[in-house]
Amino acid sequence: MLSLNNWRTRQALIAYGLLLPAIAYFATYFFYPIVVELWASFYRGAPLIGEARFAGFDNYVQAITDERVRRALWITLVYAVGTTACTLVVALGLAAILAGPVRANNMIRAIIFFPYIISFVIVALMWKSLLDPYTGILNSILFMFGLEGQNWLGTPQTALPTMIAITVWKDVGYAMLIYVAAIQGVPQTLYEAASLDGATRRQAFFSITLPLLAPTTLFLAVISMISHLQDLSAPYLLTNGGPANATRLFSLHVYEAAFVELNIGYASALSFLMFIVILAITFIQFRFLGRKVSYA
């Protein structure tokens, strides 16, 4: 027993030793800056840079009572949920096809995946010129078919859906690949059994494949939500939050509070609010979609 205890202690010590670089790294580059920002969040003005005075919880009170903050949170939620849901549905549809026998399968997968690895700077550049209401190619094509073009990113009603569509375009390839792998991992015997029971292919897909994809869906939903709840590049590069604040995501709101309004203290408070929101949403996803992915 003693030797087992000894062994345990030894292994723990080795583990801590191996973790030392990570502890140093995360302490230096994550937790120290976060503590500094936490300190700044209790100051009014421009702590760290210029003038500031201690203000207790004033920044947090202002953040919670500000109607624009609530609006930004709501838009962010719509954007993140919309992007995630559309990405997963489209990806699943494509994966259902590409998991089967299809010609040029590898090439098609590679092409659809490619936008995922491209910088949003380029994505924004391309789509803004394609969607330009007056000189863009999309409206010209619509015009050729006798349809009326839209000011896609310039009308409050269409701006957010357009931004979601562009993000889905970029993300869908990754989710598709993960789904293809998951579908191909479903044991053949299950389909054979279903086929003997007289199930059609569609029935088999909905009754066998889909439920087995739940862990994959959870994984994809969590990483997509975490990254899009804090998305800055899409609104910053595509619309700057406009028109009429229709695409003003929370991150952009925080970024502008800090770097445009020079309201560093308030921006810090907003970021902690955001941290709590993301944490809560991630937690809810696990609760609702089930703890099927081994996560911790």
Partner 1 sequence: MRGFLKGFAVAAMIGAGGSAAQAETLTVYWNAGHAWDAYQAVIDKFEADNPGWTVQWEKFQWPDMRTKLIADFAVGNTPDLSAEPGGWVQEFAQQGLLKPLDEYVARDGEAMGYPGDWQDFSVNRNMVDGSYYGVQLHLTCATLVYNVDMLKEAGFDAPPKTWEEFRQIAIATTKPGRFGFAPNPVPAYYWPWMFQAGATYFDPEAKQVVFDSPEAAKGLQFIADLIHKDKAAPLPVTGADYEGPQKLFTAGRAAMIITGPWDVTPIRTGNPNLNWAIAPSLTDTAQATLAGGVSMMIPAAARHPDQAWDLLQRFVALETELAASVANGMTMPRKSWAASPEVQADPTLNSFGQCLPYARDITADLRLTGKSARVEELLKSAVDDVVYNNRPAAEVLAQYAAEANKALAE
Partner 2 sequence: MSAALYHRSLLESIVIYTVLGVAVLLAIFPFLYMLSLSLQSDADLFSGVPVIIPSQLQFSNYIDIWERAPFARFVLNSFIIAGGITALHLIFDPLIGYVFAKMQFPGKGAMFAAVLSTLMLPFFIRMIPLYILTAEMGWLNTYQGLIMPFAMSAYGIFLMRQFILPIPDELIEAARIDGAGELRIFFTVILPQIRPALATLGLLTFVFQFNEFLWPLIVVSTTEMRPITTGLTLFNQEFFTAWNLTATGGVLLFLPSFVLFLFTQRYFIRSVMMSGMK
Residue with smaller CB distance to partner 2, 143 or 156: 143
Which of partner 2, partner 1, none binds 287 (CB below 5-8 Å, type-dependent)?
none
Closest C-alpha to 267, from 17, 48, 82 = 48
Ranges within 52-91 binding partner 2 (CB under 8 A):
none
- Name the segment binding partner 1 (CB under 8 A); options: 86-94, 115-123, 217-225, 243-251: 243-251
Check binding of 238 to partner 1 (CB under 8 A): yes
282 CB-near residues (< 8 Å, 6+ apart): 222, 225, 226
Asked if residue 108 binds partner 1 (CB under 8 A), the reply is no
Which token pair is 203?
A: 């029935």
- Taking the least distance from each CB to partner 1, the nearer of 44 and 109 is 44
Residues of span 111-130 touching partner 1 by CB under 8 A: 128
- The answer to whether residue 193 forms part of the interface with partner 2 (CB under 8 A) is no
DSSP run (H or E) holding 123: helix 120-131
Told to check if 28 binds partner 1 by CB under 8 A, we report: yes
Binding to partner 1 in span 41-60, by CB under 8 A = 46, 48-51
C-alpha–C-alpha distance, residues 70 and 263, integer Å = 18
Collapsing DSSP to helix, strand or coil, 200 comes out as: coil
SS3 183: helix
- Distance separating the N- and C-terminal Cα atoms of the chain: 29
Helices 67-98, 105-113: axis angle to 10 degrees equals 170
List binders of partner 1 among 5-24 (CB under 8 A). Answer: 24
**37 binds partner 1 per the rule CB under 8 A:** no
What single-letter DSSP state applies at residue 242? -
CB of 1 to partner 2, least distance (A): 16
Which does residue 244 bind out of partner 2, partner 1, none, counting CB within 5 to 8 angstroms by kind?
partner 1
